[in-house]
Chains A and B, each alone.
Chain A
Amino acid sequence: MDRLIFEKGRPGRRSASYPAADAPMEDLPAELRREAAPALPEVGELELVRHYVRLSHKNFSIDTVFYPLGSCTMKYNPKVHERAARMPEFAGLHPLTSEDHAQPMLRLLFEMEDILKEVTGMDGVTFQPFAGAHGEFVGISVIAAHHRARGNKKRIVLTPESAHGTNPATAAMCGYTVQPLKTDPRGMVDLSDLKAKMNGEVAAIMLTNPNTFGIFETDILEIADVVHRGGGLLYYDGANLNALLGQCRPGDMGFDVVHMNLHKTFTTPHGGGGPGAGPVGVKAHLLPYLPVPVLVKEGGRYRLDDDRPQSIGKVSGFYGNAGMVLRAYVYARMLGAEGMRKTSEMAVLNANYVRGRLLDHYEQKYKTQPMHETVLSASKQKRESDVSALDVCKRLIDFGIHPPTVYFPLPTVVPEALLIEPTETETLEQLDAFVDAMVKIAEEAQKSPDLLREAPHHTPVGRLDEARAARQPVLRWKRG
């Protein structure tokens, strides 16, 4: 087992060096002067490099293994994106440098706004949000501002019972009460339940389309009509936008606000949990409420406009994760119109191919043809061999494959859920290898279920005691 970086090194050892500073710091009042140094590591550079490189080997990553992680769109992260972001002209650009200096960067951002407007069918885009959930916060705040400006008294946000946890959390953060919507037998929003809940107090409905089951909401135009007539707005959670690139657009479906996850559809790297980027697009009637600053073009010059009296305000220190937007820009320009369409086609083909091969081995609650992802279930394995979806996932690790998303949708919606999204960048051989592993695991579940229950067998650590971690929290190292 690797020790922590704090448990390595020796007092006085060091990596980085700086020229000596002779400042006596005499103006610094004694009570503000730090006497006890922080207990940071004291390691040499080689020791430091080995420590972190060895740690990196303990990670699964897209660069090393297949990640069929539903709703996360773990596609290949092209290397050219990193090369672009590291160019010193971009990496060294100060957010408060003169507007004149920043013009080329502002132009690039403006171009990217145009691309995302075209992709989503919206009229304006902001890059301020740092991630999907942050985009949701912006989007629902915009919707709240719209209702406030009209004197509307609305207090409810509707989300499908299969919605991602950020949807209800966001609605609550913006002061709304959340009501779940039922799923009909096709795996779509239950229209009659929606109609019953449109009581005049609904501010918005938050939907993904395709939804969390990977199923396209074919009633979307009617849903939009029902919600709009009831005085509500439609929020599009862009988690699943990869399925629709160049095929159809949320703006044409009646959505008023969308967020996109650039770290999903536009493949900026996940970084072990971030950074992402969650740009938000809105229809024309909501433009006045976008967060500031808004990028404007006037006579060939670009400007960050802060003077927007109806804006929801600022949500990020500067302009969001501009470095991630740059990566996504390179991706969008390289794909072009035809590459976008090919991307969604192959994403949907891959998902359906995998589903087709797995249906004889795993159950499926909603049998409608899915798009870019599909929800299977380990219910049969649970019933017959008392192994769970989690056990199936952990065993998959032994085959060198990252598990699908598990227990999402929630067990109340689909028991023992396995949410599988292969993405378009995987080869047929890889898909077959995944399916073969899943079939083998289904067999093992019957013949030697302990192999699953005790998995994984070949990782640096086995299953960890999560209950103990939560009951007796050890959240930092302390000098002994």
Chain B
Amino acid sequence: MNYTPHTQQEIDQMCRALGIGSPADLFNVVPGPLRIDGLNMPRGLTEMEAMAHLNAVGAELRSRAPALSFVGGGAYEHFTPSVVQEIIGRGEFYTAYTPYQPEVSQGTLQVIFEFQTMICELTGMEVANASMYDGASALAEAVLMAVRLNGGRRVLLPRSLHPFHRRVVETYTRGIELEIVDLPWSESGALDPAQVESRLSDDVAAVVVQSPNFLGVLEPIGRIGALLRDRRTAFVASVNPISLGVLRPPGDFGADIVVGDGQPLGIPLSFGGPYVGFFATRDAHVRKMPGRIVGETVDHAGRRGFVLTLQTREQHIRREKATSNICTNQALCATAATVYLAALGPQGLREVGRLNWAQSHRMEKALCGLPGVKRTFSAPFFNEFTVTTPRRASVLLARLRAKGIEAGLDLGRFYPDLDHSILVCVTETKSDEDIEKAVAAWREVL
């Protein structure tokens, strides 16, 4: 199957118009030694054959899937209202190009303007861009921007930062030879502001705080914000947006840049992507911000309209002097997040936050009632927490898997000293019965 509509007659007609014998003649500009007869791959499939193949792969995935999963760690299973898929499934949105021609792109442009507004509202910041690739790359871009703001040579990264995000920051900052300094976690699992303070100096470009952090616990962002208030060092916060209906946003605590992954806001897990990074900052810093930005303006008749703006920061204008090389972003995922947030509204977002809190705390209490199971860290958490048991996490998880339960993440994979600890995620998708079922399975395998 291919999607070319040409009949043989039309091909002949077009070739005649060009004075060539066949379309193959147009490839005579390719030097002979480079030409190949064709590719070594199977014949093409019809749609029916392709779907049969995909259904077989799907069935195989289903047969291996756990009945219940408590895996989080940066990507989260949430319920998505039906309107989200219906809207982003409209061809007018998903088959549109980047809105460089604003007169024929007001749909996309207005949605993105609404997205920017919602991200500002959630994070407590003044300005947001049109999206980044994901939470990890958004954080890396935030660190690069901090260096542009203050010329610092070092960045403080918590050891409890998502280990994958940390590695992305390392890759992105290699070109500018930025030194990365570790911030340990305290016994509670949260950062100790005194430890942060002791590592501060004028050449620190940014302090990164992720809350909830990779261990699930909430960081003392207010106290860290206070430490950085009168310093050149940028305060960069990475947050889970779905927590911001119940948790105070970093903007309230003086954050300079707030980033995160918008996946929890109505975007399917899809084996890690496509997701959407969000990126918010202060008005004063907007010209140092990476990525596209949509702004409001008027046409010749005074009608309100939206355009891509402040483009002199971007690669297609500034080339090697651009704030970032980003071009294609994750606009359709930003659209999904916008519709999700519009569907939930302030009340719905608060309810989802409370439900996540309620179900995860219910599970935590039940698990900690089992013999030998205890919280690894004492600091408050949102929808993910860490427990330690007398058994190796990998052993325990394998036993639970055999009972159809993917019970969490083995933290030993990321921190060898935590190989008896499991990161458990419980969102609103888990009912009281699901939790009881899972806890019963834990009891049997301990």
Asked if A169 contacts B295 (CB within 8 A), the reply is no
State A132–B133 Cα separation when bound (angstroms).
Answer: 12
Query: Looking at the complex, which one of A51, A72, A462, A469 makes contact with B296 (CB distance below 8 Å)?
Result: A469
Q: How does the 8 Å CB contact mask read for B343-356 relative to A, with 1 for contact and 0 for none?
A: 11111111110110
User: Does A346 sit at the interface, judged by CB under 8 A?
Assistant: yes
Asked if B295 contacts A32 (CB within 8 A), the reply is no
User: Does A93 sit at the interface, judged by CB under 8 A?
Assistant: yes
Q: 25 A-B residue contacts at CB 8 Å?
A: A6-B117, A15-B81, A21-B358, A23-B355, A28-B246, A38-B118, A39-B346, A63-B95, A74-B97, A85-B270, A92-B269, A137-B325, A172-B322, A252-B36, A316-B272, A316-B273, A323-B268, A337-B44, A338-B44, A339-B44, A340-B39, A369-B26, A462-B301, A465-B298, A477-B117
Number of interface residues of A (CB under 8 A): 197
Q: Which are the 9 A-B pairs with shortest beta-carbon distances? A: A318-B272, A336-B44, A271-B332, A63-B91, A23-B358, A95-B272, A273-B331, A275-B274, A323-B270
Query: Looking at the complex, which one of A34, A131, A464 makes contact with B305 (CB distance below 8 Å)?
Result: A464
Asked if A90 contacts B328 (CB within 8 A), the reply is no
**A317 and B135 contact, Cβ closer than 8 Å, known pairs A357-B17, A393-B101, A475-B116:** yes
**A462 and B343 contact, Cβ closer than 8 Å, known pairs A178-B319, A323-B274, A333-B53:** no
Asked if B29 contacts A469 (CB within 8 A), the reply is no
Which residues of the partner chain A approach B150 to less than 8 Å between Cβ atoms? none
Asked if A324 contacts B273 (CB within 8 A), the reply is yes
Enumerate B290-335 residues with CB–CB distance to A below 8 Å: 292-301, 303-307, 309-312, 314-322, 324-333, 335
Enumerate B241-300 residues with CB–CB distance to A below 8 Å: 244-249, 261, 268-276, 286, 292-300
User: Does B384 sit at the interface, judged by CB under 8 A?
Assistant: no
User: Does A226 sit at the interface, judged by CB under 8 A?
Assistant: no
Asked if B93 contacts A56 (CB within 8 A), the reply is yes
Give B42's nearest chain A residue, CB to CB: A336
Residue among B89, B108, B171 with max Cβ neighbours from chain A (10 Å)? B171
Asked if B245 contacts A348 (CB within 8 A), the reply is no
Asked if B218 contacts A216 (CB within 8 A), the reply is no
State A350–B15 Cα separation when bound (angstroms).
Answer: 10
State A75–B5 Cα separation when bound (angstroms).
Answer: 12
State A316–B11 Cα separation when bound (angstroms).
Answer: 44
State A31–B162 Cα separation when bound (angstroms).
Answer: 24
Which residues of the partner chain A approach B303 to less than 8 Å between Cβ atoms? 1, 461-462
Give B81's nearest chain A residue, CB to CB: A16
Which residues of the partner chain A approach B13 to less than 8 Å between Cβ atoms? 428
Query: Looking at the complex, which one of B44, B319, B326 makes contact with A334 (CB distance below 8 Å)?
Result: B44
User: Does A185 sit at the interface, judged by CB under 8 A?
Assistant: no
Which residues of the partner chain B approach A314 to less than 8 Å between Cβ atoms? 136, 164, 167-168, 170-171
Asked if A248 contacts B97 (CB within 8 A), the reply is no
User: Does A315 sit at the interface, judged by CB under 8 A?
Assistant: yes
Enumerate A238-257 residues with CB–CB distance to B below 8 Å: 246-249, 252-253
**A41 and B342 contact, Cβ closer than 8 Å, known pairs A49-B83, A334-B1, A339-B2:** yes
Which residues of the partner chain A approach B318 to less than 8 Å between Cβ atoms? 165, 169
Q: How does the 8 Å CB contact mask read for B209-238 relative to A, with 1 for contact and 0 for none?
A: 000000000100110000000000000000
**A25 and B246 contact, Cβ closer than 8 Å, known pairs A17-B348, A56-B93, A337-B40:** yes
Which residues of the partner chain A approach B81 to less than 8 Å between Cβ atoms? 15-16
The binding surface of chain A is classed by DSSP as: loop
State A424–B6 Cα separation when bound (angstroms).
Answer: 9
State A84–B55 Cα separation when bound (angstroms).
Answer: 9
State A77–B301 Cα separation when bound (angstroms).
Answer: 36
**A271 and B94 contact, Cβ closer than 8 Å, known pairs A221-B33, A314-B164:** yes
Q: How far is the CB of A432 from chain B (nearest CB, A)?
A: 10
Which residues of the partner chain A approach B244 to less than 8 Å between Cβ atoms? 34, 38
User: Does B86 sit at the interface, judged by CB under 8 A?
Assistant: yes
User: Does A356 sit at the interface, judged by CB under 8 A?
Assistant: yes
User: Does A55 sit at the interface, judged by CB under 8 A?
Assistant: yes
Q: How far is the CB of A430 from chain B (nearest CB, A)?
A: 9
Q: How large is the interface on B (under 10, 10 to 19, 20 to 34, 35 or more residues)?
A: 35 or more
Which residues of the partner chain A approach B135 to less than 8 Å between Cβ atoms? 317
Query: Looking at the complex, which one of A14, A144, A276, A427 makes contact with B345 (CB distance below 8 Å)?
Result: A14
Give B301's nearest chain A residue, CB to CB: A462
State A406–B128 Cα separation when bound (angstroms).
Answer: 28
Query: Looking at the complex, which one of B6, B26, B314, B325 makes contact with A352 (CB distance below 8 Å)?
Result: B26
Asked if B345 contacts A42 (CB within 8 A), the reply is yes
State A15–B299 Cα separation when bound (angstroms).
Answer: 33
Which residues of the partner chain A approach B168 to less than 8 Å between Cβ atoms? 313-317
Enumerate A1-55 residues with CB–CB distance to B below 8 Å: 1-2, 4-6, 12-23, 25, 27-29, 31-35, 37-43, 45, 48-49, 51-53, 55
User: Does A397 sit at the interface, judged by CB under 8 A?
Assistant: yes
Asked if A33 contacts B348 (CB within 8 A), the reply is no
Asked if A93 contacts B61 (CB within 8 A), the reply is yes
Which residues of the partner chain A approach B274 to less than 8 Å between Cβ atoms? 130, 274-275, 321, 323-324
Asked if B272 contacts A53 (CB within 8 A), the reply is no
Enumerate B135-186 residues with CB–CB distance to A below 8 Å: 135-137, 162, 164-165, 167-168, 170-172, 174-176
Asked if A274 contacts B329 (CB within 8 A), the reply is yes
Q: How does the 8 Å CB contact mask read for A211-224 relative to B, with 1 for contact and 0 for none?
A: 00001101011000
